[in-house]
Amino acid sequence: MVLEHWDAGGRIERAQQNSMNLSEVSAGYSKQVEDAFAGKSAAAVRNEIQKFVEPVLQSEGEEQYEALQKLLKRLEPFRDIFADVDRDPDERAAFALALVNREKSLQ
């Protein structure tokens, strides 16, 4: 199953049905991540993400989810990066994790 071809709605639901974790779901957001890193607010977005790389990647479970929610709160002013991301909190967390993973790969 190729995650990148899923529609925005239902990723988490399908992931739960297939026993996928948040990290696996986040892999389906590669296009949205690339858009966020190339958009007009990319520098500011990356600046915010950089503050959360360690807290997110050095935690697991509920602690990681809380760190992702804090990152999402910081990214709220950059609404354009969420254009193709479902409003579901779990979908947003998966997207935030994808952003963090991309930022880590660039360091």
Q: Distance between CA atoms of 12 and 24, rounded to whole angstroms?
A: 10
CA distance 20 to 18: 5
Confidence of residue 102 (pLDDT cuts 50, 70, 90): very high
Q: Where are the domains of the chain?
A: 3-106
**CA dihedral (68, 41, 80, 20) positive or negative:** negative
Rounded to whole angstroms, the Cα distance separating 33 from 15 reads 19
Tens of pLDDT, residues 32-69: 999 999 989 999 999 999 999 999 999 998 999 999 99
pLDDT digits (tens, 9 = 90+) for 1-34: 333 334 445 555 555 544 457 787 788 899 999 9
In the chain, the amino acid numbered 45 is V
- Tell me, what's the pLDDT at 20? 59
* Per-chain mean pLDDT for the chain: 84
Q: Give every CB contact of residue 59 below 8 A, 6+ residues apart in sequence.
A: 67
